Amino acid sequence: MKKPEWACPSGKSLLILRMVKEMNDLKYLKLLSKQYPNIPAVSTEIINLKAILNLPKSPEHFLTDLHGEYEAFQHMLKTASGLIKFKIDQIFTGVIDADKKELATIIFYPEDKLKKLKESEEELTTEWYKTTLERIIKLCKVISSKYTRSKVRKALPENFSYIIEELLHLKGENKNKEGYRDEIIKTIIDIGQAEEFIISLSNLIQTFAVDKLHIIGDVFDRGPAPHKILDTLQDHHNCDIQWGNHDILWMGAALGQKSLIATAIRTTLRYGNLDLLEEAYGINMRPLARLARSFYKNIDCNNFCPKLIDEELDQQDKNITSKMQKAIAIIQFKLEGNLIKRRSEFNMNEALYLDKIDYEQGTIKLDGQEYELNNTDFPTIDPENPYQLNQQEQEVINQLSYSFKNNEKLQEHARFLFNNGSMYLKYNGNLLFHGCIPLNEAGDFSTIEINGELYQGKKLLDFFDDVVRKSYSYKFEEKDYRDWLWYLWRGELSPLFGKDKMTTFCRYFIDDKSLHQEQKNPYYQAREKEAICNKILNEFNLDPEEGHIINGHTPVKEKKGETPIKGNGKLLVIDGGISAFYQPKTGIAGYTLIYNSDEMRLISHKPFVSKEAALEGGNDIISSMRIVELKKKEKIADTDIGEKLNNKINNLMELLQAYKKGIIKEKYE
């Protein structure tokens, strides 16, 4: 059979191909020439970009599993996980510790700390303002030196931009300009603007300390204020998110996926965070409370009692929260039952419970064995038709679904998560994801068949990434993409969940602890081995010699001797439990990671007590800093952005040649 022409181009078609390419190149260069119309313009940009390539790589900050702990998160952000204090110690070697601590606290919380200092009997003298300003300027200079002038300029506060730019770019050794600088500082103090400058410069230091913030999932659930974390992230200058299972839960709920709405509400009530729904988001919970009150009269708290840290609810609130939790849990189990039956390809029949209950005996039969239920009050379940919502339940879930879908704030947060998030991220040679890459016992990528096609490894994550985006794009149509978000929340091969099953029903209703077990995916054992980590990096086309996997989701139990560094240093698990509920298990209050131009540094944190304590300067929450890897001084040229800049430089060089050869005519205004 004659080969199709494109399979092996003849000499003539090769010539045609080359001509087409040249024409396209020329078209592109002509477009580029609109931006850089002559030799001086294009030369300036080439010089500028080449200089940027030689700047040191700017710092990346990695946080994960924030679980609504806003205050601890804020502190990590403001302090850049200890990086700012570390720089202060490096720069001000001759300054006493107390002063360095004070300086650090001013930079982290400038308004509050200044107020506190003024309230104490000591007066803030001109000398104090001068020293403080000089130190802050010095630190700001060092921290901003990794950026181009234009980037620094763009970040400057409007009011003082000219003066701050002057101060930041005056060279210390320039004797001629010393008087000039001193006069600027003196005038700032004389005209009563010192505090404004201290605040502006402190904010600038916080901005520059970290260039890129990565959130490796799970902003929501357990803690009280995920909404405040999201508000902060929305305002951040440069942040990305790798979705966690708890984020997908809320994203799906925001799109009106009813099983996820029920689950999000149940989890919120379980941790006593009714205020999050009612006050922060303004979702009306009265219909659910009414239903709970009318059906679950005799609840004795037990397994539905909210988990609290400081007993912040009184008995009456605890009772109603428990009733509501049970009411929404039953709605969840019913909705999930219908979903599992509708989506047989999810293969989740083992999560069907309500049809296995003997409602007269108060027992349940699972895998041929009978178990006693510890609670047999199911006033809304019709044993003949256990998955059918009764009328009141139907009304409540419809009302909640309407509220979720039409809640402006929740929709704004969901939009942010969809737009700025992904299933995984490849960034500067590293691979970031929340949960796992599903593996089988043999250490091979697990395969899932969807509509006759097989997915595994990277292809599986790409499939889910695509489905999540489609669920958002088609949110107003009754397409079934949203069901996949539920699968991602709790399905066996969900890379965000990474466990064989979720045993919520058994945890509530059966005392036998063996039924509460959730088996982790074999990935979690396998990742201890370097070869497996390398295999995963290769699967994602990353260089195992250079790259690392950065993982969240499973709290590292440091107390039990577990280490966050796995696979011979190839993989870092940075979930150390910022969530207050996990701290007894982990023994610490979270890990964070800083990736600088010369090292990767893992920081473990002590529990964050309060902002008040932080303002006193006594709350240094860093418990240890470990250098995971020393790097050769990396430059922007070595990063992903460097690669893009290099491409641009190549194009500009071609444009320069085209001007020189007269292929494209220069334009001068």
Residues that bind Mn ion (CB under 5 A): 218, 244-245, 553
C-beta pairs of 30-33 under 8 Å, 24+ apart in sequence? 30/664, 32/651, 32/652, 32/655, 33/655, 33/658, 33/659, 33/664, 33/667
The interface mask with ligand FBP, positions 627-646, x = CB under 6 A, is --------------------
- To ligand FBP, the closest distance from the beta carbon of 497 in angstroms equals 7
Contact partner, 502, from Mn ion, ligand FBP, none, Cβ < 5-8 Å per class: ligand FBP
8-state DSSP, 57: P
CB-based contact 572:60 (threshold 8 Å): no
Residue closest to ligand FBP (Cβ)? 502
Selection from Mn ion, ligand FBP, none that 292 binds (CB < 5 to 8 A by kind) is none
User: Least distance to ligand FBP from the beta carbon of 67, Å?
Assistant: 7
Query: Closer to ligand FBP at the Cβ: 303 or 399?
Result: 303
What are 555's two structure tokens? 């709290």
Report the C-alpha gap between 153 and 158 in whole angstroms.
10
DSSP string, 383-433: TTSTT---HHHHHHHHHHHHHHHT-HHHHHHHHHHHHHEES-EEETTEEEE
Binder of ligand FBP out of 102, 211, 231, 518 (CB under 6 A): 518
Q: Which is nearer to Mn ion, 243 or 427 (CB)?
A: 243
Query: Given the complex with ligand FBP, which of 102 and 518 has the nearer CB atom?
Result: 518
Closer residue to ligand FBP (CB): 502 or 603: 502
Return all residues near 669 (Cβ < 8 A) that are at least 6 apart.
none
Q: According to DSSP H, which parts of 271-365 are helical?
A: 274-275, 286-295, 315-342
- Quick one: angle between helices 97-108 and 70-79, nearest 10? 120
Helix, strand counts (H, E) of the chain: 27, 17
Give the x/- contact pattern for ligand FBP in 212-231, rule: CB under 6 A. ------x-------------
CB of 525 to ligand FBP, least distance (A): 17
Minimum Å gap between C-beta 593 and Mn ion is 17
Phi and psi at 366, nearest 5°, equal -125, 130
The Cα angle at residue 107 between residues 106 and 108, in degrees rounded to 5: 95
- What number of chain residues touch ligand FBP (CB under 6 A)? 9
For 436-476, give the secondary structure using H, E and C: CCCECCCCCECCEEECCEEECHHHHHHHHHHHHHHHHHCCC
**Closest CB 433 distance from Mn ion, rounded Å:** 11
Among 245, 321, 403, 597, binds ligand FBP (CB under 6 A): 245
We find the least distance from the C-beta atom of residue 79 to ligand FBP, in angstroms, to be 25
The distance of closest approach from Cβ of residue 241 to ligand FBP in the complex, given in angstroms and rounded to an integer, is: 15
**What is the nearest approach in angstroms of ligand FBP to the Cβ of residue 499?**
5
Q: Which residue is nearest to Mn ion (CB)?
A: 553
To Mn ion, the closest distance from the beta carbon of 605 in angstroms equals: 18
Residues 526-585 that bind ligand FBP (CB under 6 A): 553
Residue 436 vs 664, nearer CB to ligand FBP: 436
Chosen residue from 78, 113, 270, 548 binding ligand FBP by CB under 6 A: 270
Q: How far is the CB of 503 from ligand FBP (least distance, A)?
A: 6
> 195 or 218, CB closer to ligand FBP?
218
Residue placing its CB nearer to ligand FBP in the complex, 523 or 595? 523
Q: Which does 413 bind (CB under 5 to 8 A by kind): ligand FBP, Mn ion, none?
A: none
- For residue 504, the partner it binds in ligand FBP, Mn ion, none, with Cβ less than 5 to 8 A by kind, is ligand FBP
CB 406 within 8 A of CB 414: no
d(C-alpha 533, C-alpha 571), whole Å: 7
The secondary structure of 60-126, three-state, reads: EEEECCCCCCHHHHHHHHHHHHHHHHHHHHHHCCCCCHHHHHHHHHHHHCHHHHHHHHHHCCCCCCH
Q: Which is nearer to ligand FBP, 61 or 553 (CB)?
A: 553
Task: Give 82 or 435: the residue with its C-beta nearer to Mn ion.
Answer: 435
Q: Smallest distance, Å, CB 40 to ligand FBP?
A: 56
Q: Which is nearer to ligand FBP, 208 or 497 (CB)?
A: 497
Any idea which residue has 């029949």 for tokens? Answer: 349
| Complete edge-to-edge strand list for the sheet that includes strand 357-358 | 357-358, 363-366, 369-372
Which residue, 168 or 496, is less far from ligand FBP as judged by CB?
496
403 binds ligand FBP (CB under 6 A): no
Strand order in the sheet with 565-566: 425-427, 430-433, 549-551, 571-573, 565-566
CB-CB neighbours of 482 under 10 Å: 24
What letters, b where the CB count within 10 A reaches 16 and e where it falls short, cover 413-425?
bbebbbeebbbbb
Which structure tokens are listed for 469?
């985006």
User: Pattern 468-507, binding to ligand FBP, x per CB under 6 A?
Assistant: -------------------------------x--x-x---
Binding site for ligand FBP (CB under 6 A): 218, 245-246, 270, 499, 502, 504, 518, 553
